[in-house]
A and B are shown apart, each in its own frame.
Chain A
Amino acid sequence: MSKYTPHTEQEIAQMCAKVGVNSLDELYADIPNEIVNPTINIGEGASQFEVYAHIKSLADKNKCYSAVLRGAGIYDHLIPPVVTSLASREEFVTAYTPYQPEISQGILQSIFEYQTQMCMLTGMDVSNASVYDGAVAMAEAIVMCCERKNRAIITGKVNPQYIQVAKTYCYAHEIELIIVQDKDGLVDIDKTTHMIDDQVACVVAQCPNYVGLIEDMASIGQMTSSKGVKFVYVFNPISASILPTPAEVNADVAVGEGQCLGLPMCYGGATLGIMTSTKAMSRRLPGRIVGQTTDNRGNRCFVLTLQAREQHIRREKALSSICSNQAHNALRASIYLNCVGKVGLVQIAQQCIDKSHYLAQQLCKSGGKLKYKGEFFDEFMLEGGINTVERLKEQDILGGLPVDNDTLWCVTEKPTKSVLDCVVEQYKEAK
């Protein structure tokens, strides 16, 4: 057994004496006899070296592919070494939520910079300090919009996991959720318009959507504005550097998954929920928000603010109970965006476009067919292709995601041309 406690036996005895007990067990006299000292069957501890060997052996049981051509919500992008290095600074890692601004300016400023970057990407007025993930961000956005109305519409091809999470949140908040089927992989604007009545609070659409297509968000935004309902835009932070911003298409709330900004795939765990809104909606945003102010010496400084929205002040009247968020992942995303910068992010987005279109075109030249006609960003649905995915395992390549009988492919800036050519070869041979 290893331990992280400094106490010697002698010190324990001295401290017990000072406290006025004869043993450590005596400290627990309040626990009823019937339940004290249970057996805990988790085995005994081990040295750090043995534990590392055990954990490493588990990690080695996983299969890591040398190239990943799959997204569907979790993306394999290049991660600059400086991102991991800086985010690992122990102060950032071992601090709590910055409740004491005088000794937390580093974290508060980093969140303020993160909020600014999210507003730059989306064009929105306000960002919070993050929520648990993209799916929760979308669900919380629906809850934000349902102020006096209790019906929400999700339209088009929205990530199915996000819809599942939204269903749970809507069940909890007693909001009726309506799912409007897509038309040829895109939002059916006419059908969606007809579904809007005086109880509908908001319309949710994702762009690029789950099957990779770029939606006509401008028309959806015009429609929601004219109908007087809120518009929730689910965006991708990488494509956001190129596509019209949520603000430009009249979104009221823009949410997204920030895993693509310098975070590993890690089985979809520990990602980043981005939430931004218009100024008008800002007081309904959940979670932490950092604001700029001054200290008693006149310096610019940063502090957690608009806390009257939050659970520790409003208790049962708070819209959300979120307390801990994904702060350290927001820090990572912020470092990533500073590292790639204004030009680099556009370059990355353009390479995603170039490489995904190259693969799609080569597959089509080899007899493949895309399931949908619309313009896509870096993901596309190929008719069939499941055999190819199977064959690619042998080539150490994780192919597209099987969806019914088709496959959803994603090409980021990371795979090389030779990987893409290999996919095409395997596709030809599989046919």
Chain B
Amino acid sequence: MKLVFEQSVQGRMAITLPASNVPSYTLQCATRKTQADLSEISEIDLVRHYTRLGKQVYGVDNGFYPLGSCTMKYNPRLNEQVVELEGFNNVHPTQCPCETKGTIEVMTNMQQDLCAITGMDYVTLQPAAGAHGEFCGMLLIKKYHQSRGDTLRKKIIVPDSAHGTNPASANMCGFEIVTVSSNKEGGVDIDNLKQIVGPDTAGLMLTNPNTLGLFDKNILSITRIIHDAGGLCYYDGANLNAIMGMCRPGDMGFDCVHLNIHKTFSAPHGGGGPGSGPVGCKQMLAKFLPTPIIGKQPTVEYSLGKVKSYCGNFPVILRGYTYIKTLGSSGLKQASQLAVLNANYLRILLQQDYTTAIDRICMHEFVLDVKDYHDNYSTSALDISKTMIDYGMHPPTMYFPLIVHEALMFEPTETESKQTLEEVAEIMHKISIRAKDSQDDLHASPVTTPIGRVDEVKAARQPILKYQPQ
């Protein structure tokens, strides 16, 4: 497909500015040597360009999107309607609070609702994404220990099954990472945890349900072990969609959490963002929260400062708030329960042809281990994923968690119907038959897409990162 720059014709324009009606002024300083060579294109060509691009994108609106850990649920149209409201879009952040009462009320209400859902005392909406929330949460923990003169606590414990953002965020805050191994069910190995904790433990980062999609039954012991050692517990909210209304991170013993509004609370992901990663904390961490604090005021004399300009990704927050108001407490609970039911139903159907990493009732997601296909039929998790594309589905998360080598992580979410899941299982059955058929080569798939498999090695070894005119 042509790049927009390849459609450019000198002299074309898609905008006409209003006449300025004031005298022209010439800057008395140096100007750039050459003009920025942006495209020159008519409005209709612009529209067709993006319409063509749009047709080469697969979103939740296009079909099944079981990307594990990403919670690709339906993005309600009501949410998209409210973010277009002028009243929210046309306010400047430095306006007097008396002129932005509506925006402030949305944020105040959202903070209260997220406190209730997570069992936390305070929430900040400032972080712009999940990883940004982790960064903010790790700073709360760093500040907490420092404020107590507890300066030897340099280590953050992270399971070997954790999302990559966890160790990266802890490292950004100057912590050393200690890995705790997983037990058979992907949970924290308690014996190993007991060996690791000590006076140098700053805290633990954990997601529960874990990345194998199982609820860690030992959660209360785990958080107690950390607390007894003087550390704090951080909850990665990536998997909260399994447990809304069923249990709360605060009750599990976590001191600090982040949530992903763009996962759990139905905000769309926009092809990679903007997201929103609110952070909740218990009372003893409140004085370290980023400023400004909206609504209920703790003293923030020891604030960690700011992690972002102003108050957060407001349109994403507004979508989440709209979703919460639409579903309410029973709706959220039911959403989680049906997410778990869907995952289990699909798991049972797929187990006819595939092996799950752990064979038991799961939460909102489960992991297939297709090592047998890899070893016996030279068909990898990648081959199966790429073949799914040919059947009109988005593949699951591949090769994660790292503790399962040929992992396919399915998260169907609650918004898929029984019929869709059955159709998926039928397709996965067909793929299984094809994988076992030596005459059929899944290495070639996908074949129905505008492009085939891409040469990623070439992209990295000879980087072309911008358009280069011939």
Contact = CB atoms under 8 A, between A and B. Distances in A.
B5 A344 contact: no
A324 B275 contact: yes
* Residue among A36, A38, A78, A341 having the largest count of chain B Cβ atoms under 10 Å: A341
Interface in A48-86: 48, 51-52, 54-65, 68, 70, 72-74, 76, 78, 80, 82, 85-86
Given A341-B41, A398-B95, 5 more contacts: A51-B322, A103-B58, A245-B32, A269-B313, A354-B25
Interface in B32-68: 32-33, 35-41, 43, 46-47, 49-62, 65, 67
30 contacts: A3-B331, A5-B335, A15-B344, A19-B341, A30-B216, A38-B119, A55-B85, A57-B102, A61-B87, A62-B91, A70-B92, A94-B268, A96-B65, A103-B58, A112-B3, A136-B132, A168-B139, A171-B305, A172-B172, A248-B32, A267-B311, A295-B452, A299-B451, A314-B164, A314-B168, A315-B164, A321-B169, A344-B15, A348-B17, A358-B23
A353 interface: yes
Interface residues of A, number: 198
B165 A323 contact: yes
Task: List the 3 closest A-B pairs by CB distance, nearest first.
Answer: A269-B314, A59-B87, A328-B270
Contact of A134 (B309, B338, B348, B450): B309
Nearest to A123: B32
A357 interface: yes
B245 interface: yes
B116 interface: yes
Interface string A83-112: 001101111111111111111111101111
A110 B53 contact: yes
Contacts of B217: 30, 32
B59 A90 contact: yes
Contacts of A46: 325-326, 328
B150 interface: no
Contacts of A338: 4, 14, 38-39, 41, 46, 49
A223 interface: no
B177 interface: yes
Interface string A12-50: 101110110100110111111011111011111110100
A222 interface: no
Contact of A133 (B80, B87, B308, B444): B308
Interface stretch (A124-132, A194-202, A364-372, A380-388): A124-132
A395 interface: no
A377 B29 CA distance: 10
A234 interface: no
Contacts of A51: 78, 322, 325-326
Interface string A122-163: 010111011011111000000000000000000000000110
Contacts of B169: 311, 321
Given A60-B102, A92-B57, A244-B30, A40 B309 contact: no
A164 B119 CA distance: 30
Nearest to B444: A296
Interface stretch (B188-196, B225-233, B429-437, B460-468): B460-468
B39 to A, nearest CB: 5
Main secondary structure of the interface of B (DSSP, over half): loop
Given A132-B128, A354-B23, A413-B20, A38 B345 contact: no
B441 interface: no
A211 interface: no
A172 B168 CA distance: 12
A341 B466 contact: no
B94 A70 contact: yes
A3 B466 contact: no
B199 interface: no
Contacts of B395: 100
Interface string B336-356: 011011101100100000000
Contacts of B21: 416-417
A335 interface: yes
A189 interface: no
Contact of B417 (A7, A161, A351, A413): A7
A230 interface: no
A261 to B, nearest CB: 11
B452 A168 contact: no
Given A95-B59, A341-B13, A5 B338 contact: yes
A431 interface: no
Contacts of A289: 465
A178 interface: no
Interface stretch (B246-254, B279-287, B368-376): B246-254
B384 interface: no
B20 A351 contact: yes
A251 interface: no
B135 interface: yes
B89 A264 contact: yes
Interface residues of B, number: 199
Interface in B96-155: 99-103, 105-106, 112-113, 116-117, 119, 128-132, 134-135, 138-139, 142
Contacts of B341: 7, 12, 15-16, 19, 24, 27
Interface string B259-281: 00010001011111111000000
B173 interface: yes
A142 to B, nearest CB: 13
* Residue among A59, A62, A101, A111 having the largest count of chain B Cβ atoms under 10 Å: A62
Contact of B86 (A12, A14, A64, A313): A64
A161 B309 contact: yes
B7 to A, nearest CB: 9
Given A58-B105, A82-B43, A295 B38 contact: no
Given A295-B453, A299-B451, A324 B274 contact: yes
A88 B100 CA distance: 26
Interface in A265-297: 265-271, 282, 288-297
B89 A303 contact: no
Contacts of B311: 267-269
Given A24-B341, A38-B119, A328-B273, A344 B328 contact: no
B274 A326 contact: yes
Nearest to B347: A19
Contacts of A290: 465
Contact of A97 (B163, B271, B340, B363): B271
A242 B342 CA distance: 56
Interface in B354-398: 361, 363, 385-386, 389, 394-395
A319 to B, nearest CB: 8
B152 to A, nearest CB: 16
A305 B334 contact: no
Contact of A95 (B18, B58, B116, B306): B58
Interface string B183-215: 000000000000000000000000000000011
A30 B326 CA distance: 29
A48 B302 CA distance: 41
B28 interface: yes
A353 B209 CA distance: 55
Nearest to A128: B465
Contacts of A176: none
Contacts of A299: 451-452
A355 B58 CA distance: 44
B313 A59 contact: no
A305 B459 contact: yes
B454 A27 contact: no
Contacts of B92: 68, 70, 74, 76, 265, 267-268, 398
Given A32-B219, A301-B454, A132 B88 contact: no
Given A35-B248, A338-B4, A338-B14, A64 B90 contact: yes
Contact of B271 (A92, A172, A295): A92
Given A86-B47, A316-B170, A116 B5 contact: yes
B329 interface: yes
